Amino acid sequence: MKKLLLSIFIFYSISFETFSHVGHYAKYDYLEYELFRNNKPIGYHKYDFKREGNNLTIYNEVSFKITKLGIDLYNYYASGQEQYIDGAFSGFKSETNQNKKEKYVNISIDKKDKNLVIDGSSYKGKADKDIIIGTWWNHEIVQKKAQISAVSGRIIEQKVEFIGKEDVKIGDKTYKTLRFNFSSSDPSLSKDKKLNTDIWYEENTYTWIKAAFDKTGYWEYRLKEIR
């Protein structure tokens, strides 16, 4: 019981006091993650942070493929742009080729009510301005009730559970991290639509260190390079 109460206290302290804006990433220009499936490297996920005055644009690129006996069974490529002005979200767009199936999403801000306008391959319509893009690098996601798929624009209502503090070793470096589990709030979703992902953020910098989930295999994102 003491451990549970401590976890709850830490979670609320983190989510309401420190997880507040993208300014924590002001010193970063580049993040790169290596993707693994069943502990075998299959691709990468990169973020380039470009700044111009008060404007911040994050260019992201994901590429991986699954092969067996030298034959490509699955190919995936996506690229996108996430934009902020004075630290506030101002737009997003992406294009994805998911094993020859094209998906996309474009998100803008309604000038009148400041809510989000989504034009995606899975959802078209408006969404509350407090919802966040599910690109994981931004630790604000732990305090949101929903995220938007960066692939198709689908709105994913979520529950976030603080699992605890953990040491995560990648290569020769060990990170002091905070581990969270993200799961879908809607129990009626089909298994392939349900969210169930563990995310690790570095305790002092809030940098995304690692992600893991089970979906036709065990997947991991591991931080490879930061500068």
- Render pLDDT for 170-222 as a digit per residue (tens, 0 to 9): 999 999 999 999 999 998 888 888 999 999 999 999 999 999 999 999 999 99
Which of 36-50, 53-67, 183-197 has the lowest average pLDDT? 183-197
* Concatenated DSSP letters of 149-166: -TTT--EEEEEEEEEEEE
Is 90 exceeded by the pLDDT of residue 226? yes
Per-residue pLDDT, 62: 98
Q: What is the mean pLDDT of residues 34-56?
A: 97
Is 90 exceeded by the pLDDT of residue 22? no
Q: Report pLDDT digits (tens) over 112-158.
A: 999 999 999 999 999 999 999 999 999 999 999 999 999 999 999 99
Is 50 exceeded by the pLDDT of residue 12? no
Per-residue pLDDT, 18: 39
Is 70 exceeded by the pLDDT of residue 160? yes
Is 90 exceeded by the pLDDT of residue 13? no
Q: Report pLDDT digits (tens) over 80-101.
A: 999 999 999 999 999 999 999 9
Sign of the Cα pseudo-torsion (108, 83, 89, 199, in order): positive
Q: Please work out, in degrees rounded to the nearest 5, the angle formed at the alpha carbon of residue 198 by the alpha carbons of 195 and 204.
A: 135
Per-residue pLDDT, 17: 41
Is 80 exceeded by the pLDDT of residue 16? no
The structural domains of the chain, with segments of one domain joined by +, span 2-226
Per-residue pLDDT, 2: 40
| Residue 150 near residue 105, CB atoms below 8 Å | yes
Select from 35, 36, 54, 53 the least CA-distant residue to 45: 35
Is 60 exceeded by the pLDDT of residue 4? no
Per-residue pLDDT, 27: 87
All residues at 6 or more sequence positions from 29 whose CB lies less than 8 Å from its CB, including other chains = 48, 49, 227
